[in-house]
C-alpha cells in the first residue's frame, strides 16, 4: 500500500537535502577552504621565499594541505545528523543505506573536494609552479579528493559521536591516505620533469574505482555499528 | 564443530590454563638458545661486522609485527562473521604486544642503520612501512579504547583492522615505489644479501622464540580479561580459577 | 673466549647491546605487566574462596 | 505481523532486560512501560533493527527483520526521542525532502495544518519550541502511510489538544489495520485501546 520513491529519486532527494543543508551552513564550506589557503601560505614563511625550494616542495605542500583540509571537514559529515536523529532515519529508509550514504559522500566532495580543486591553481602560482605542474596538480586533486572523501567517510562513521573524534579520525585515516599522497605528488613531479604521468594517474584512478565500490557499503555498515 | 566449542570462555579458560606453562617454558628455552647461538656462536659478518647481531632482534620483531596484525585481522573477520565475543578478547590481548614488536623493530632498525648508513633514521621502504604499521596499531588501540560500549568497540575495531590489512600491501607497494623513485642508489637491503646458515639458524630460532613468547603473553592477557568480564558467572567460581 | 672483546662488539657495543637491552625492556614489560595483573586477580579469587567456604 | 521472542539487551556490559516476547497483529496497540533506564528506548530501537539483540530475534511477516531489512523498513515508521528532523531546515523542507512518499507541497501543507503549524513554515526547526518540533515530526504520520508505528514518548512536550489529536489519529490508524508500539509516561485517552502491555525492569 505504500508507494515509495525509487532508488534514484530518493538518492537525488538526499543529495538535494545535503546541498541545501551545506548552503544553510555556508561557513562549514569556507572554513576548510580558508584552512587550505592558510596552511599553504605558511610554508614560504617557514621555508623561505626562494622559488627553487618552493617549486620542489609545492606538490607535497598542496597535497598535505588538501589531506588536512578534508580531515577538518569530515567531522561534521555525520555528527550534526547524529544529534537531531536524522542519521537513524537514514538507516531506516526502504532503500539500501549504502546508496544514500553515497549521496552524502558526493555532497561532501562537492562542498569540500571540488572547492580545493578550483582554488588550487591560485596556490600553485603562489608557490611558483610551472604550468604543467599546475595542470597536473588540479588533475590529481580532481581524481584524489573523492578518494579522500570516501575513505574519510568510513573514519567519520567509525568515530561517530566519540569524544576527541576529530583527532582520532586523523590517526585512523591519514595512514590510509598515503598511497594517494605518494602517487599524486609523484605524478606532479614526473609531469613537471617531462616524464609521462600516465602510470600514476591510472593507479590513482584504480584506487578511486575500488573505494567508490566498497567505501559506501563499509560506511553504512560502520554507521550501523556506531548507532547500535 | 570443535572450533565453536572452544570459542566460549567457559571451555577456553581452562584450556588456556593448561597450555600456558608449556608455551612459557618453551618460549624461555628457545629464547636462550637463540641468544646463545646469535651472540656466541654466529661469526661476525664480513661486511657489517658485529652489528649483524642486531638482525637477530630486528628481523624477527619486524616479522612478528606483521604476523600479529594479520592474526588480529583474521580474528576480526571471524568475529564479525560468526559474532564470537572471544575474538575481541584475543584482538585486544594481541594489540599491545603487536605494537611493541613494531616499536622494537623500528628502534633496532635505527640502531642497525646508524653504522651502515651513518644516519639514525633512513626513509628506507621497509622501515617506513614499519612506521606506518605502528600508526595502524595505534589507530586501532585508540579507537578501541575511545568507545565505551564493548560490543561497538569490538565491531568498530574489527572494521578498522580489516580496512588496515587490505590497505597494508597497497601502502607497502606505494612506499616501495616511492623509495626507488627518490633514492636511485641501491641501498643495501636491510636483511643482507645472502644469509649464511650460521646466521640463518639463530634468526629462525629467534623467530620461533618470539612466536612462543607472543602466544604466552596473549594467553595470560586473555585469561585475565576473561576473569574481568566473567567475574560473576558461576562456572568461574566452580572452577576456582 | 675474550670477554672484553665480546662486550666491545667490534666498537659497536652501544648499537648491539642497545638493541638487546631494548628488546629485554620492551618484551619484558609485555610479559611482566599482564603477569602482575593476572597474579593479583588470582589472589583476589583465592581470598573470595576462603571467605566464601 | 510483528513477532518478537526472547529478546535480551545489554548496555555497557550490564543486562538490561531478557526474554521479552510478544506478537503484534493488525489493529494491535502495544504500550511499553517501565522505570527510567529500564531499557524502553533500547527495546524500541531493537524492534526497528537499529540495535542488535544480545539474543532472541524479531520477525516481520514471518521473516527475520535482519535478513529483509528493506522490506521491513518500507512498513516501519519510527519516531524516537530525537524526532529525526534537520534543525537547520524549515518544516516544509524537512517533510518534503525526508519523507519517502511521493508527497507534493499541497499534501505537506495540509499535514502541517492538521498538526496546527500552518504559520511557522519558513523558520528553521531549531527556532521552534520542543512541542512544535514534535508536531512536525508527528506530521510524518499523515504523510507516510506505514503499517507499523514505533513511537518513543510521542506525547513528550505536546499540549492538551495535540495529545487529543494524536489519540484520534492513532485510533484511526489502528482501525484501518495498522499497528503501533508506544511508550509514554502521560495519561492519554488512547490508553483504552491498548491490547498488549509490556512492562520492563519489574
- Per-position DSSP letters for C18-42, written without gaps between them: HHHHHHHHHHHHHHHHHHHHHHHHH
Q: In whole angstroms, what separates CA D36 from the centre of its chain?
A: 18
**Within-domain flag for B224:** no
**Per-chain mean pLDDT for chain C:** 85
Instruction: Write the ipTM.
Output: 0.90
Q: How confident is the model at residue B12 (pLDDT cuts 50, 70, 90)?
A: confident
**Within-domain flag for B236:** no
- The low-confidence residues of chain D, meaning pLDDT below 50, are none
Place of cell 653504522: B115
**Within-domain flag for B210:** no
pLDDT at B188: 46
- Touching chains, C (3+ CB pairs < 8 A): B
Q: Which residues of C22-51 are buried (b: 16+ CB within 10 A; e: fewer)?
A: bbeebbeebbeebbebbeebeeebeeeeee
CB D111 within 8 A of CB D143: yes
Q: How confident is the model at residue B107 (pLDDT cuts 50, 70, 90)?
A: very high
Touch of D by A (3+ CB pairs closer than 8 Å): yes
| Mean per-residue pLDDT, B19-28 | 92
Touch of A by B (3+ CB pairs closer than 8 Å): yes
**Within-domain flag for B165:** yes
* D61-105 pLDDT, tens digit each: 888 988 888 889 989 999 988 888 888 888 888 888 876 666 677
Q: Choose the closest CB to C22 out of B97, B104, B228.
A: B104
Confirm or reject contact between D11 and chain B (CB < 8 A). yes
**Within-domain flag for B48:** no
Cross-chain Cβ contact A17/D93 below 8 Å: yes
- Touching chains, D (3+ CB pairs < 8 A): A, B
**pLDDT of A212 higher than 50:** yes
Q: How confident is the model at residue B3 (pLDDT cuts 50, 70, 90)?
A: low
The three-state secondary structure class of A18 is helix
Mention every residue, 6+ apart, whose C-beta is less than 8 A from residue D126: D87, D88
Helices A51-83 and A26-47 meet at what angle, rounded to 10? 150
The three-state secondary structure class of D65 is coil
**pLDDT of B1 higher than 80:** no
pLDDT at B200: 84
Give which of A150, A172, A190 to mutate to test B binding, by max B Cβ within 10 Å: A172
Q: Which has more pLDDT, A200 or B231?
A: A200
Q: How confident is the model at residue A1 (pLDDT cuts 50, 70, 90)?
A: very low
CA–CA distance, A156 with A78 (Å, rounded to integer): 7
Range in A67-81, A151-165, C26-40, D105-119 the model is least confident about = D105-119
pLDDT at B2: 60
What is the total count of domains within chain B?
Answer: 1
CB B164 within 8 A of CB B66: no
Neighbours of D130 (CB within 10 A): 11
Q: Which has more pLDDT, C6 or B37?
A: B37
The CATH H-level (homologous superfamily) assignment of domain D25-46+69-200 is: P-loop containing nucleotide triphosphate hydrolases (3.40.50.300)
Chains B, D: CB pairs < 8 Å: 8
Range in A90-94, A97-101, D102-106 the model is least confident about = D102-106
* A12-31 pLDDT, tens digit each: 888 988 999 899 888 888 99
**Per-chain mean pLDDT for chain B:** 86
- State which residue of chain B sits closest to A158, comparing Cα positions: B156
Question: Which is nearest to D86 in space by CA: D101, D96, D75?
Answer: D96
User: Would you kindly state where each structural domain of chain D is located, as residue ranges?
Assistant: 25-46+69-200
Bridge-partner residues for D58, per DSSP? D4
Confirm or reject contact between D97 and chain B (CB < 8 A). no
Structural domain boundaries enclosing B166: 53-189
**pLDDT of C10 higher than 90:** no
CB A141 within 8 A of CB B137: no
CA–CA distance, B89 with A14 (Å, rounded to integer): 39
Place of cell 538535494: A16
CA–CA distance, B126 with B189 (Å, rounded to integer): 9
| Mean per-residue pLDDT, B48-65 | 88
Amino acid at each position: 500500500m505504500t508507494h515509495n520513491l525509487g532508488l534514484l529519486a530518493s538518492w537525488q532527494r538526499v543529495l538535494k537535502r545535503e546541498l541545501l543543508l551545506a548552503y544553510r551552513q555556508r561557513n562549514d564550506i569556507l572554513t576548510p577552504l580558508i584552512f587550505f589557503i592558510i596552511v599553504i601560505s605558511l610554508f614560504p614563511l617557514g621555508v623561505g621565499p626562494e622559488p627553487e625550494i618552493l617549486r620542489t616542495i609545492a606538490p607535497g605542500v598542496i597535497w598535505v594541505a588538501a589531506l588536512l583540509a578534508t580531515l577538518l571537514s569530515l567531522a561534521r559529515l555525520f555528527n550534526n545528523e547524529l544529534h537531531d536523529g536524522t542519521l537513524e532515519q537514514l538507516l531506516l529508509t526502504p532503500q539500501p543505506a549504502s546508496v544514500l550514504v553515497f549521496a552524502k559522500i558526493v555532497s561532501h566532495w562537492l562542498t569540500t573536494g571540488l572547492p580545493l580543486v578550483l582554488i588550487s591553481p591560485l596556490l600553485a602560482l603562489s608557490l611558483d609552479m610551472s604550468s604543467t605542474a599546475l595542470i597536473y596538480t588540479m588533475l590529481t586533486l580532481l581524481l584524489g579528493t573523492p578518494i579522500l572523501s570516501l575513505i574519510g567517510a568510513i573514519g567519520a562513521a567509525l568515530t561517530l559521536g566519540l569524544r576527541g573524534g576529530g583527532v582520532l579520525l586523523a590517526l585512523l585515516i591519514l595512514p590510509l591516505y598515503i598511497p594517494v599522497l605518494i602517487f599524486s605528488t609523484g605524478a606532479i613531479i614526473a609531469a613537471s620533469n617531462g616524464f609521462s604521468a600516465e602510470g600514476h594517474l591510472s593507479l590513482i584512478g584504480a584506487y578511486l574505482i575500488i573505494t567508490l565500490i566498497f567505501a559506501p557499503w563499509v560506511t553504512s555498515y560502520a554507521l550501523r555499528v556506531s548507532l547500535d | 564443530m570443535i572450533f565453536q566449542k572452544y570459542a566460549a570462555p567457559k571451555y577456553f579458560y581452562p584450556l588456556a590454563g593448561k597450555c600456558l606453562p608449556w608455551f612459557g617454558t618453551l618460549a624461555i628455552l628457545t629464547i636462550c638458545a637463540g641468544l646463545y647461538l646469535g651472540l656466541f656462536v654466529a661469526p661476525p659478518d664480513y661486511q657489517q661486522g658485529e652489528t649483524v647481531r642486531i638482525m637477530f632482534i630486528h628481523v624477527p620483531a619486524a616479522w612478528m609485527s606483521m604476523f600479529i596484525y594479520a592474526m588480529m585481522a583474521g580474528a576480526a573477520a571471524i568475529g564479525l562473521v560468526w559474532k564470537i565475543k572471544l575474538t575481541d578478547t584475543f584482538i585486544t590481548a594481541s594489540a599491545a604486544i603487536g605494537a611493541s614488536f613494531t616499536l622494537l623493530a623500528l628502534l633496532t632498525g635505527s640502531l642497525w642503520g646508524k653504522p651502515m648508513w651513518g644516519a639514525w633514521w633512513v626513509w628506507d621502504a621497509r622501515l617506513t612501512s614499519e612506521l606506518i604499521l605502528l600508526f595502524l596499531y595505534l589507530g586501532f588501540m585508540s579507537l578501541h579504547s575511545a568507545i565505551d560500549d564493548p560490543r561497538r568497540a569490538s565491531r568498530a575495531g574489527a572494521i578498522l583492522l580489516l580496512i588496515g590489512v587490505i590497505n597494508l600491501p597497497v601502502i607497502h607497494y606505494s612506499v616501495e615505489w616511492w623509495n626507488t623513485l627518490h633514492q636511485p642508489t641501491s641501498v643495501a637491503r636491510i636483511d643482507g644479501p645472502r644469509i649464511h646458515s650460521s646466521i640463518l639458524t639463530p634468526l629462525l630460532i629467534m623467530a620461533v622464540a618470539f612466536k612462543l613468547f607472543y602466544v604466552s603473553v596473549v594467553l595470560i592477557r586473555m585469561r585475565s580479561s576473561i576473569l574481568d568480564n566473567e567475574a560473576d558467572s558461576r562456572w568461574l567460581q566452580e572452577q576456582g580459577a | 673466549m675474550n670477554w672484553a672483546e665480546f662486550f666491545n662488539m667490534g666498537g659497536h657495543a652501544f648499537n648491539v647491546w642497545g638493541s638487546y637491552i631494548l628488546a629485554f625492556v620492551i618484551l619484558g614489560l609485555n610479559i611482566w605487566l599482564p603477569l602482575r595483573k593476572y597474579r593479583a586477580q588470582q589472589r583476589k579469587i583465592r581470598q573470595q574462596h576462603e571467605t566464601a567456604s | 505481523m510483528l513477532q518478537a521472542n526472547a529478546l535480551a539487551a545489554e548496555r555497557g556490559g550490564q543486562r538490561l532486560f531478557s526474554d521479552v516476547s510478544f506478537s503484534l497483529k493488525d489493529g494491535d496497540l502495544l504500550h511499553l512501560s517501565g522505570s527510567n533506564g529500564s531499557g524502553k528506548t533500547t527495546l524500541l530501537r531493537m524492534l526497528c533493527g537499529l540495535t542488535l539483540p544480545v539474543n532472541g530475534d524479531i520477525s516481520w511477516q514471518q521473516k527475520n527483520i535482519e535478513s529483509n531489512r528493506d522490506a521491513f523498513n518500507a512498513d516501519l515508521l519510527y519516531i524516537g526521542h530525537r524526532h529525526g528532523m534537520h534543525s537547520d531546515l524549515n518544516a516544509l523542507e524537512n517533510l518534503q525532502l525526508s519523507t519517502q512518499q511521493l508527497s507534493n507541497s499541497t499534501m505537506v501543507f495540509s499535514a502541517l495544518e492538521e498538526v496546527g503549524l500552518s504559520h511557522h513554515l519558513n523558520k528553521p526547526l531549531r527556532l521552534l519550541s520542543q512541542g512544535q518540533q514534535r508536531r512536525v515530526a508527528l506530521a510524518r504520520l499523515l504523510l507516510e502511510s506505514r503499517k507499523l508505528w514505533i513511537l518513543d514518548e510521542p506525547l513528550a512536550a505536546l499540549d492538551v489538544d495535540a495529545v487529543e489529536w494524536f489519540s484520534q489519529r492513532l485510533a484511526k490508524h489502528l482501525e484501518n489495520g495498522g499497528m503501533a508500539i508506544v511508550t509514554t509516561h502521560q495519561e492519554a485517552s488512547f490508553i483504552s485501546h491498548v491490547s498488549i502491555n509490556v512492562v520492563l525492569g519489574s
